[in-house]
Amino acid sequence: MDLVIENDFPLIAELPEIQKEWDLYNYDCMVARTQYYNYYYSYGKTWKPKRILEIGVRFGYSALAMCMGAEPEEFVGIDNQFYGPDSNRIAEDVLRRYLPDLKITILDLDTQSQVLPDLGKFDLLHLDAAHHEEGVENDVSVALGIANSGAHIIIDDCNWDGPRRVLSKHGGTYLKNFTGHGILTVGKDSV
Ligand SMILES: C[S@@+](CC[C@H](N)C(=O)[O-])C[C@H]1O[C@@H](n2cnc3c(N)ncnc32)[C@H](O)[C@@H]1O
């Protein structure tokens, strides 16, 4: 289905954690509303994936945006908590606060060095952990192994050289926003 980008994601205004974070980096929160998290919300809302996987969850903000749009049956996150020892619990709390009925699993795993357990297949997969070319390539190949036919794989930070090269190699689509999103549609592009 053609992607429809919502032009605003107002939930950001209710989440003081996100506002604080963007203030810290001196970014205008409107960017987060109109050029970043609204994209995640839109992927969920347009494609309505039933099962969502994210590699690189941190505090659960992109996860929340995708899940609010999709209202999926299940969210599975993978994060080795490199950015903070308690980040997976914080992410789960954020998701539960807004989506109390969602089935949530967040695994503390390093996708560069550990093999994933059997997680089943997913309809939307977001990659936002490694940002160097080899690391992103690894996560794309992990994602391809657990993606349903017709699933979408989003690669964040494709305005950086490494992720962008991986996207080109797999014949995906570049979507210009604040960080640059790559989209691979499994079974449709060269994937
Ligand atoms: C940029 S943050 C994710 C931000 C989140 N997607 C969002 O937008 O709210 C990257 C996350 O990837 C995790 N990470 C980095 N390398 C990883 C690896 N090899 N395996 C699993 N997680 C990793 C870090 O711990 C961190 O929480």
**78 CA → ligand 1 middle, Å:** 8
pLDDT, position 100:
96
- The CATH number linked to 176 is 3.40.50.150
pLDDT, position 25:
66
Q: Is residue 10 part of a domain?
A: no
Q: Is residue 110 part of a domain?
A: yes
Cβ contacts of residue 129 below 8 Å, gap of 6+?
55, 56, 78, 79, 80, 111, 135, 139
Q: Is residue 51 part of a domain?
A: yes
Q: Is residue 190 part of a domain?
A: no
- 91 CB neighbour count, 10 Å cutoff: 25
- Containing domain of residue 129, as a range? 36-185
pLDDT, position 96:
97
Mutate to test the pocket of ligand 1, among 57, 87, 89, 139 (most ligand atoms within 8 A of CB): 57
Q: Is residue 102 part of a domain?
A: yes
Mutate to test the pocket of ligand 1, among 36, 58, 61, 156 (most ligand atoms within 8 A of CB): 58
Q: Is residue 171 part of a domain?
A: yes
Domain total of the chain = 1
pLDDT, position 19:
80
Q: Is residue 123 within 8 Å of 143, Cβ to Cβ? A: no
Q: Which atom of ligand 1 is nearest to the CA of 84?
A: 25
Cβ contacts of residue 31 below 8 Å, gap of 6+?
22, 178
pLDDT, averaged per 10 consecutive residues of the chain (191 residues), comes to 90 83 75 92 98 97 97 98 94 96 98 97 98 97 97 97 97 95 83 45
Mutate to test the pocket of ligand 1, among 18, 66, 83 (most ligand atoms within 8 A of CB): 83
Q: Is residue 115 part of a domain?
A: yes
Instruction: For ligand 1, atom 14, name the residue with the nearest CA.
Output: 129
Residues with CB under 6 A from ligand 1: 55-59, 61-62, 78-83, 87, 110-112, 128-130
**51 CA → ligand 1 middle, Å:** 19
Q: Which atom of ligand 1 is nearest to the CA of 87?
A: 27
Q: Is residue 4 part of a domain?
A: no
